[in-house]
Amino acid sequence: MTTLYSDDAVAIIGVSFRLPQCSNWRELIDILADGRDCIRPIPESRVANTGQILTGNEKEGGWLDEITGFDHRYFGIALSEAEYIDPRQRIGLQLATEAIVNAGYTLKELSDARTAVLVAAHGGPHPDLFQSLSVQGKANPFAFIGSLHAFSAGRIAYLLDLRGPVYAIDTGCSSFLVALHEARNKILTGEADFALVGGCELVLGTLPQSSKSSSGLGVESMTDRCRPFDAMADGAGFGEGGGFVLLKRLSRAHQDHDVIHAVIRGSAINHDGGRSNGITAPSSIAQTEVITAAWHQAGVTATDIGYIEAHGTGTKIGDPIEVQGLVDTFAAYDVQQESCVISSVKSNFGHLSGMAGLAGLVRIIAQFRTGQIFPTAHFQQLNPLCRSTEELPIRVSSSCEPWPRQGQRPYCAGISGFGLSGTNVHLVVEEAPSTLRHKKYEINERLVLISAQTTQDLSTYLSAITNALSSTEASIDEIADILMLGREHFPYRWSCVASSVSHLVQQLTNHGSISLSSSSPSSSLSVGLIFDECFPIDIQLLMKRGETFPAFHRVIKQAENLCSGKTWTLRQRWIIWLLGHHAVLTAFGVTIDLLLAYGVGKLAAQVVDGGLEFVDALRLADEPVTDSTFDHQRLQTLLQEQAELCLVRFSRCGELATAINTLGYQSYDSERSLLTLLGDWFVNGANLDWQQGCERKINRRLELPFAPFVATYCWPETIENPAMVSDVVPRTSISNSGENVEEILLTQVREVLKEPKLTLDDDFFAAGGNSLNGEQLVVRLNEVLGTDLKLIDLLDCLDLNEFYQLVKDSVQLSSVSTTPEIETRNNKHVLSGQQLAIWAATEIAGESGAYNVPAALLINAEADVAWLEKTLTELVLQQLMLRCSLEYNEQGVNPVIHPPMQVKLVHSEVDLTKYTIATGIPVLTQRLQQMVETPLSPYGIPPTRFELLQVNFSDGVRQTLLLNFHHLFFDGWSWRLVLAALSGGKISPPVNDYLNYAMEQYTLLESEQGRKLEAFWYGYLANIPILLLPCDGEGGTASNLQGANLPVMISKDVTERLRQMAMNSRVTVQMIMLTTWVALQWQISAQHDICVAMPVANRQLKDENTIGCYVNTVIVRARLDPHQPFHVVLNAVRQASLSAISHSAFPSDRIQKLMANTSYHLTMFDFQNDVDPIRVLGGNGAVVELLDVDPNGAKYPLNLTCIEYGDELQARLEYSAALFSQDTVSRWLNIYIEALTRLMTLGEETTLFALFDGQDDVLSDIPDFQF
């Protein structure tokens, strides 16, 4: 073999990849070691984001989860251009950047070198983005160049400023390996110093459809699975993915102490020519020839090769030909030893077309990293057409096994790529050579700088670095160098001073308690220095500062040349101390805007100003100081003129510093740590010259995590998704409005979130937003601006500024036309769909308190009865539904509005004299629950109850205001209005009464839009399964409304961690809890198709001040794969929820009809938030406490209700006592809470299996097979 660092070898120093279900080494190794098959149906979230239309006959494949996100701001691309760039090229651009950063380099370092870019251009059968665009989309000026194959390389070079050879290569399936071969040659011939090689393959356009017959070429598998070399092989399944590698000459990589993932020892390329039976048929002769040539160039023989990553497409004819080519290659070497193992990663991810070689290459590197050879998924028995390998030097990998070493020699592997067009390529890849650790720096402390593009990403990035450092062998100097000099610095920043890796890990671990900066970077930093009177400085402190900062060291050396350090007096050391710090700050690029001097400090100041030589300052240092006073008034004037100044002092208690402090100005003590000062400036946005200030280069490159990209939804209108562009005519126009869009948006956001100081720079979700109030905001904006925004538009925006741009664009595109007004309702009042659903449930089950909506306020002082009665009377006068009941007539049942009445509180007493106030509150709550369970009849008089109870305890008297309404006329939102009025707030009169709303709904449902809504729900609920929950009762159903409930204890710690996870993942607490609830249904039923009922507010802007039953119950339907990580399941539930919410205008009574008899088998998840805690009553301001008195009725078998009440997260589980025992429900409840707690610990990467590990509540008679 060649020598260790021979000059004809090329090192792979940077790697990035995104493959099905994995994008890092840990995920990749787990999949490969398990022999896992990542072929699956296209993710629902992917379909929702791209607007693709499903037929139900789609092929399964190795799908990427997400292809619509792109960090266009990072690359300086306008969103209007970015959305027309083919997603293969967008993803490729990010992966190319990641490969560079993975190597420990900045983009600037590669732009200063000759860097080649070679991209495996998309060459598969699937269309480009341009071909999928609508006619209007194709007319966009960015559309054509967005899909040109040449731009896949050119755009990377342009945006990253890379100036070497740049081109795209298309040889079909072998494209990536051919590009790697060409890049290797560019480096060895000196055309390039670095080379970026990679690309991305995706399936766009109409999705591949399953067929009962094989393709004409025999290439596509009818089972969608690739089974390389197996007897059951019937072709290749397709896969998606991409990645890049960064190459460099091995000798240079060793010299520069680069990360070396692997070494390319040799490569060769040829073509079948006329040696095959057709242009698409492979040639074993040509394959033997190219493999032999590559081995010869690498200087290896068959005895050196321990593993071969075969092309291995799993075709009946292709695999036997490839085996024959390998057998003939080995035969030339007369190998009589342990067989070489072969496999193909296509068995795991499918065939990635031109990027197939990238998947094979990272598999080889993963095997190098672990010292193992991974199994071939699906392999059981050798294809009978293959020559038997029992007596041959090759065999197919069938299990995960150790890779035996040949003495001390590195692992060596081959990798083949055979294009359908006949172009063959083979490379010899060797394990990275072990290197000797070089001498560590002798520095006691290092400044560590870390930054990202958002607060959430910074927190995630800090955690990733913490995990990476847990097993590192690098020194604190090497780590600090990479993070300071080898990373780009972003606006959101964190810093610390660390003396060791363990010290750094300790501070990183505690970063959650640190306030992360959100300052914008700025090159301007206003600094003032305080050169005070003399302060004792030890010679050792001087020398230590000189060891840390080269500029300080030069000042010391200069002073030593002028006079011996052994003879330096106290004042001379002080002058050196001051001038040394000035030199350090100047070296870091800090401009000194103000220099205040006093006493001996004036000599140092004169040296800085050029009025005195350094040698003279040292000579005069011990002369008597004649000026012992300074002008306080002038000092104050100077400081007032530069209020933004950052003052730095160099002693603890100098007279000048003391005077400045007396005037009320703060100054920074640099004696504590100059590194800390520089870190604070960095965190607050200063852009310092770290290279110049530290005067060092990176001594050793490291593979460390890097700041994540910030993905923006980026997808144009395509032929597949015209329905994503609204065909609803806007109802209003703002063409004549005096308000601009920005003002309207901020007004609505501030009202919805009750945050009057929000700006466009804020994040809606970080400020308390979620899907519920997000939907409220979107409805308001559509109402005011005439737009057709969707909740997902808000969810996909990183901040309000981005959402503002989207809203503004939507307004500009909206029509000035208005929707015709709905005809005025006649005198016949109708019930809404929600009311009909409730009425039908009560008619079936008989009278029950299950649909009572009560509240009880414990008053800690005597109530102001007159004020309460006046306030409630005004509410009843204002709100029609508070004086509404039902009546039967010949047409059926209709609402009747009664005349206004004056509210008189009903007074009664409750005797709890056996209890003190402290011990009697739980007893009172139970009594009240029993009282509110008395059914409220909706017929006759309005079903309302206004009661004031006097509660007698042994140690005092308390009053309780008890209110109770019927759900037919009242929902959870309505409580906001009632409680706001009771707290003394002013409630605006309703804009639209509920009777109008019911008629508008009726008109809508009879329209074309109503038919579209029905069509959606008909398809959404098709073949809906019955949830099989194990019941304790015999033959019971939840429809009899017999219920009970249990409190759900969610600790403050879990609540805070839930909110943090939600913020980091850009979802809501509601969505995480809902997903866990859905997963619990799988856990206790073993079913994968889960439906959960979920109430939505369903109010437009004009309905927000109206009491009534607007809340609508929709169905969230999610199909779970328990093998997937939680974040994948979370995204699926999120998309299902958004889809249901966007069609929530279809009322629950009609949804129930579509569900036939399955609705009683559903569970419900109800999440309520933005409930302002009521603390005092209006009138006399009596303090009140809201008691939990909800009735024990079961509208569903299980109903988990969660309420964000202020900072608390309160919950209860309501269940059907006819179906389940309390023990059963308690056990399920404990499993749910335990799953939430484990999720906070294990993180979103954990699977559902791991999340519920150790729980035994899966039905034993329903096996959980994974097909």
| Catalytic residue set | 173, 311, 351
DSSP bridge partners of 1118 = 1090
Look-up of token digits 């350094």 = 614
Three-state DSSP state, 437: coil
Tokens, residue 513: 């308690």
> Are the CB atoms for 258 and 435 separated by under 8 Å?
no
Alpha-carbon distances of 176 from 91, 114, 122, 357, rounded to whole Å: 16, 21, 10, 6
Look-up of token digits 């394990």 = 431
Contact residues for 344 (Cβ-Cβ < 8 A; gap 6+):
226, 228, 229, 309, 310, 311, 312, 313, 314, 360, 376
DSSP string, 101-135: HHTT--HHHHHTS-EEEEEE---SSSPPHHHHB-H
> Are the CB atoms for 410 and 264 separated by under 8 Å?
no
Q: What is the C-alpha separation between 960 and 921, in angstroms, rounded?
A: 11
Q: What is the C-alpha separation between 1053 and 1059, in angstroms, rounded?
A: 10
Q: What is the C-alpha separation between 974 and 991, in angstroms, rounded?
A: 15
DSSP state of 1007: S
Q: What is the C-alpha separation between 782 and 776, in angstroms, rounded?
A: 10
Q: What is the C-alpha separation between 369 and 242, in angstroms, rounded?
A: 20
Give the chain's length: 1267
How much helix, strand and coil, in percent to the nearest 5, is found in the chain? 40, 20, 40
How are beta strands 1208-1216 and 1198-1205 bridged, if at all?
antiparallel
Q: What is the C-alpha separation between 611 and 594, in angstroms, rounded?
A: 16
How are beta strands 906-912 and 944-953 bridged, if at all?
parallel
Tokens, residue 1111: 């809340």
Tokens, residue 876: 């009843």
DSSP string, 360-422: HHHHHHHHHHHTEE---TT--SB-TTSPP-TTSSEEE--S-EE----TTPPPEEEEEEE-TTS
Three-state DSSP state, 229: coil
DSSP state of 19: B
Contact residues for 707 (Cβ-Cβ < 8 A; gap 6+):
451, 452, 453, 457, 458, 461, 487, 488, 490
DSSP bridge partners of 14 = 246
> Are the CB atoms for 1218 and 1193 separated by under 8 Å?
no
Alpha-carbon distances of 388 from 35, 229, 382, rounded to whole Å: 23, 11, 8
Burial pattern 989-1003, b for ≥16 Cβ within 10 A else e, equals ebebbbbbbbbbbbe
Q: What angle do CA 521, 524, 530 make, to 5 degrees?
A: 125
Alpha-carbon distances of 199 from 170, 240, 359, 668, 1216, rounded to whole Å: 11, 11, 11, 50, 56
| CB-CB neighbours of 681 under 10 Å | 20
Q: What is the C-alpha separation between 396 and 1224, in angstroms, rounded?
A: 50
Q: What is the C-alpha separation between 1122 and 1133, in angstroms, rounded?
A: 13
Tokens, residue 522: 């700025």
* Half-sphere exposure in the Cβ direction for 1176 (13 Å, CA): 7
